[in-house]
Structures are given as C-alpha cells and as structure tokens.
C-alpha cells in the first residue's frame, strides 16, 4: 500500500483529499497542527502526526519510502481583513511549510516519487479578458507575489531527483465548506447579486475535479511542472451570480457595490472579489484529463442538491 503524506490535512481540500486517498486504498499520513483535531476527523483510518507547519520533525520518518507528499499547508487567505500582520502570516505560513518539506526530504534515503505543490491562479494577477494558460506570465499584487514565492519554496526538491507538480487552483466549489458557503449566503437571505461590476472573470473548479486531478497528476509519472486546476468553461462573475440565483430560486439583481467591499475588506476585496482571471486548464486537458463537472450550471445544481 503506497504511502501519501498530506500537509494541511484538516483544511477544506486537505480533508477531502485524505478521505479520497483512503477510498483509493492509499496509506495516508495526515499532518496537522492539532493531533486531537486530526484524529477526531480521520479516526484510525489515517496516521495523524502533529506538525507545527515549519519544521521537519518526526514526520520525515514517514517520508522515507513514501510515494508522494502533497503540500497544501498555508493560512487561509479569506479568513480576515489583510492587515500588515495578516499578510505576513499568510506568506510566512506558506514559506515555512515549503522549506520544511524540502529539509525533511533532504535527510530521507528512499525519497518520494513526487511532490504535489499547492498554488493558486492568483499567480496571474488581474488580467481582465485575457485568456490565460500555464505559459502566461505572473501578475502583480500581493497574491501574485505570495503565490510566486509559495511555488519557489519547494523548487529545490527538483535537485533531489523528485518529480514536482505545481497545481494552480481556481476557486474550489464544494458542499463541505470553502468559498461556496460565503457565495450563497446572500442568496439565501434574498439579497444576492453580482460583486462590483460583475465583469471580472470567475475561474472555478468543482471539489470532485480538484481531487480527481490531484490523483491524476500524482499517478501519471510522465507529468511534471505547472497545471491550472480550473474548469474549462469559465464565466464572468455577474453570469455566475445570475445562474446561482436561478438555481436557488432567489433574486440575483442586488449588486454589492465595489466601494462597500473595499470599505469592509480593503485590499482583500480588490484582489479576491473585484478582480479575476480567465484561466484555462490547457496542460491538464492535453494530458487527457476529463472533467466530471466542466459546466457551471451542472456544478451548482449538484452541490446545491446535496445542501437542500
């Protein structure tokens, strides 16, 4: 049974990934800041190791002979206003985790075959209507800077003859948490609508495709480098809001003005809600990946049907 180590294992994506790996009969080592929390989630199904997010520690023993390390660790960017202290914490949590993974694997004799490094489409910055794929240049802004440094934090692994895959994820939509519940809350209160102008592109991916794509990239030994994890059919935020309102049978004509979002959320609103990227999963499609949920409407219907 191949062993997979997952950092950030109790987060939205990490938790779902660990359960999926267990379903696929992998041995899972889940790294968490709280062993008690991890054991409450996974029980005896996974080996839970307490990890401070910045040191190699005892978990490197599990890396010896493991098949893969999936590095998802990093503070949630949407958990509060971006004060200078918060911004530093967002960046440092990612750099510390990446460097710890590198240091841990240096001391391992039987190294993993692959490291999956989390990233995000924030790498590209705000690009208006430009069609973006993996060959597109990096953008400007706080998120773009964080993501670039996050990716570089594990680059040294490639000198250890370990295959490295970088997953630049869009907004992950799933019924277990994440951004989806923040998106639907106004609609449930009958005050849903576009954010700002609504002209910004909304690049998303269903959680099921996020998990399936990670396994696909992990198991395909010929694949390495950067892959965009976004559904192939994107849309502007105003159209997403319109479809969401129609499916929920709620109004979608009450916009949230840009100045209100800026007033309450500041820079976070500017970079995460009022700007966007039209990101295509070019390399993933070329590699032969087939999406379970390529379309927005079928995605939202599936998620909402489980939350009704």
Quick: pLDDT tens for 193-211. Answer: 899 898 999 999 999 999 9
Element at 120 (helix H, strand E): strand 114-120
Confidence band for 180, pLDDT divided at 50, 70 and 90:
confident
- Treating both helix axes as pointing N-terminal to C-terminal, what angle do 237-248 and 180-188 enclose, rounded to 10 degrees? 60
What mean pLDDT do residues 158-166 have? 96
What's the pLDDT score for residue 281? 98
- Among residues 239, 255, 272, which one has the least CA distance to residue 82? 272
- Among residues 77, 124, 70, 75, which one has the least CA distance to residue 95? 75
CA angle 36, 96, 40 (to 5 degrees): 10
Query: In the structure encoding, which two tokens stand for residue 295, read together?
Result: 């379309």
pLDDT of 307 above 60: no
Average pLDDT, the chain: 92
Residues in Cβ contact with 238 at an 8 Å cutoff, skipping those fewer than 6 apart: 194, 197, 198, 199
Q: Report the Cα 242 to chain-centroid distance in Å.
A: 25
What's the pLDDT score for residue 301? 93
What's the pLDDT score for residue 190? 79
* Position with higher pLDDT, 78 vs 54: 54
Share of the chain above pLDDT 90, in %: 74
Q: What distance in Å separates the CA atoms of residue 126 and residue 276, rounded to the nearest whole number?
A: 5
pLDDT of 92 above 80: yes
Quick: pLDDT tens for 23-73. Answer: 999 999 999 999 999 999 999 999 999 999 998 878 889 999 999 999 999
Share of the chain above pLDDT 70, in %: 99
* Position with higher pLDDT, 273 vs 75: 75
* Position with higher pLDDT, 159 vs 269: 159
Query: In the structure encoding, which two tokens stand for residue 183, read together?
Result: 């998106």
Q: What distance in Å separates the CA atoms of residue 153 and residue 95, rounded to the nearest whole number?
A: 6
Q: What distance in Å separates the CA atoms of residue 236 and residue 275, rounded to the nearest whole number?
A: 10
- pTM metric for this prediction: 0.95
Confidence band for 81, pLDDT divided at 50, 70 and 90:
confident
Residues in Cβ contact with 202 at an 8 Å cutoff, skipping those fewer than 6 apart: 171, 234, 235, 236, 237, 240, 276
Quick: pLDDT tens for 101-152. Answer: 999 999 899 999 999 999 999 999 998 899 999 999 999 999 999 999 999 9
**Domains identified in the chain and CATH numbers:** 3-175+204-230+278-292 (3.40.50.720)
């Amino acid at each position: 049974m191949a062993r997979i180590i997952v950092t950030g294992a109790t987060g939205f994506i990490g938790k779902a990934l660990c359960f999926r790996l267990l379903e696929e009969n992998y041995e899972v080592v889940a790294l968490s800041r709280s062993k008690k929390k991890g054991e409450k989630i996974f029980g005896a199904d996974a080996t839970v190791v307490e990890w401070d997010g910045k040191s190699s520690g005892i978990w490197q023993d599990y890396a010896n002979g493991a098949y893969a390390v999936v590095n998802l660790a990093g503070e949630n960017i949407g958990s509060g206003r971006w004060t200078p202290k918060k911004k530093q914490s967002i960046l440092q949590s990612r750099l510390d985790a990446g460097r710890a993974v590198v240091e841990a694997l240096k001391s391992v004799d039987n190294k993993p075959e692959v490291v999956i490094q989390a990233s995000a489409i924030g790498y590209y910055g705000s690009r208006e209507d430009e069609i973006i794929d993996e060959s597109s240049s990096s953008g400007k802004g706080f998120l773009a800077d964080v993501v670039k440094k996050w990716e570089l934090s594990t680059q040294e692994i490639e000198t250890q003859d370990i295959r490295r895959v970088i997953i630049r994820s869009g907004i992950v939509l799933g019924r277990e948490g994440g951004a989806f519940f923040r998106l639907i809350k106004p609609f449930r209160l009958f005050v849903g609508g576009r954010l700002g102008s609504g002209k910004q592109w909304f690049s998303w991916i269903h959680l099921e495709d996020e998990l399936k794509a990670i396994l696909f990239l992990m198991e395909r030994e010929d694949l390495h480098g950067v892959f965009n994890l976004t559904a192939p059919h994107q849309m502007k935020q105003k159209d997403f809001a319109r479809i969401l309102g129609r499916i929920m049978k709620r109004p979608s004509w009450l916009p949230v003005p840009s100045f209100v979002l800026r007033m309450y959320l500041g820079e976070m609103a500017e970079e995460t809600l009022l700007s966007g990227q039209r990101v295509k999963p070019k390399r993933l499609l070329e590699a032969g990946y087939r999406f379970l949920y390529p379309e927005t409407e079928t995605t939202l219907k599936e998620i909402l049907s489980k939350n009704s």
